[in-house]
Amino acid sequence: MAALLVVSDLAKSYRGVHAVDGVSFSVPHNSIVGIIGPHGSGKSTTIDCITGFQPPDRGRVTLDGEDIGGLASWQIARAGLMRTFQTVRIYEQMTLLENLLVAMQSFDSVTWADALFRTGRLRKAEAEATARARELVALVGLERYGEMPVSILSYGQKKLVALASALMSRPRLVVLDEPVAGVNPTRIREIETAIRALRDAGETFLIVEHNMEFIMSLASQVVVMHQGQILAQGTPAAVQSDPRVIEAYLG
């Protein structure tokens, strides 16, 4: 498959420490690619540089052929690359659907004048956003909670809300930062099922995760990082049997 995201020779240092050093990989369209590695291996810095939350010192990042390296995070989001975070960022007192509608507001073409005068453009944007929100709520399996405040949901369900929120603007690629960290096994299976269903519906994911079983069962390709560099990359089966990967994880 053609590459949607291409990362070439990415580097980032902090006071002489090479957090990321010459990282290169790609994410094909309509695929799930995982990034794994021990703590301190450079995974988080890599995705921070890709998504504009840290400026890279060197390297090139392209999204569907468009150079997005060095852009601000909001510019990268508008280019079609969204992300979630290790810590869930949602509005606890709003309903599930309201959370998704808020997530869309930065991406519609509605102006303050449209909102003030309730123009046709506003009504059309609201209708389209509501339809998209209901579609995503169904895809992540939370239909019965749509009109309820998200404060009543479990932590794993809140992770699903964050995932759905990231998808509201119909991005070309979504980066998930530890989507099952701190989630119980039952919810992990629900998150895995939701991501698989979204991929089948045409979405593309880059996932950073410590849960090896989760990544190996879900991803078609896995990138293994160690000490700021790529140690290995390939299919889950190839990566799991690589002696370098076994040594990095088991010491």
Q: How far is CA 141 from CA 30, 90, 150, 163, in A?
A: 21, 18, 14, 12
Greater model confidence, 204 or 119: 204
Mean of pLDDT over the chain: 92
Instruction: For the chain, give the number of residues.
Output: 251
Contact 235, 32 (CB under 8 A): no
Greater model confidence, 32 or 118: 32
Q: State residue 121's pLDDT score.
A: 75
Backbone angles phi and psi of 12, in degrees to 5: -155, 130
pLDDT band for position 251 (cuts 50, 70, 90): low
Render pLDDT for 218-234 as a digit per residue (tens, 0 to 9). 999 999 999 999 999 99
Half-sphere exposure of 32 (CA within 13 A, CB side): 22
pLDDT band for position 15 (cuts 50, 70, 90): confident
| Cβ-Cβ contacts under 8 Å for 133 (sequence gap 6 or more) | 97, 100, 101, 104, 164, 168
Half-sphere exposure of 211 (CA within 13 A, CB side): 21
| SS3 annotation, the chain | CCEEEEEEEEEEEECCEEEEEEEEEEEECCCEEEEECCCCCCHHHHHHHHCCCCCCCEEEEEECCEECCCCCHHHHHHHCEEECCCCCCCCCCCEHHHHHHHHHCCCCCCCHHHHHHCCHHHHHHHHHHHHHHHHHHHHCCCHHHCCCEHHHCCHHHHHHHHHHHHHCCCCCEEEEECCCCCCCHHHHHHHHHHHHHHHHCCCCEEEECCCHHHHHHHCCEEEEEECCEEEEEECHHHHHCCHHHHHHHHC
What token pair was written down for 230? 């790529």
Q: State residue 247's pLDDT score.
A: 85
What pTM, to 2 d.p., does this model score?
Answer: 0.92
Render pLDDT for 117-132 as a digit per residue (tens, 0 to 9). 788 777 888 889 999 9
pLDDT band for position 99 (cuts 50, 70, 90): very high
CATH number of 1-80+171-251: 3.40.50.300
Q: State residue 36's pLDDT score.
A: 94
Q: Where are the domains of the chain?
A: 1-80+171-251, 90-170
Q: Has residue 250 got a pLDDT over 70?
A: no
Q: State residue 197's pLDDT score.
A: 92
Q: State residue 81's pLDDT score.
A: 98
Cβ neighbours, 10 Å, residue 213:
12
Q: How far is CA 38 from CA 8, 50, 208, 230, in A?
A: 22, 20, 11, 12
Contact 60, 131 (CB under 8 A): no
Render pLDDT for 139-172 as a digit per residue (tens, 0 to 9). 999 999 999 999 999 999 999 999 999 999 999 9
pLDDT band for position 102 (cuts 50, 70, 90): very high
State which amino acid sits at residue 121: R
Sole residue written with tokens 């509005």: 91
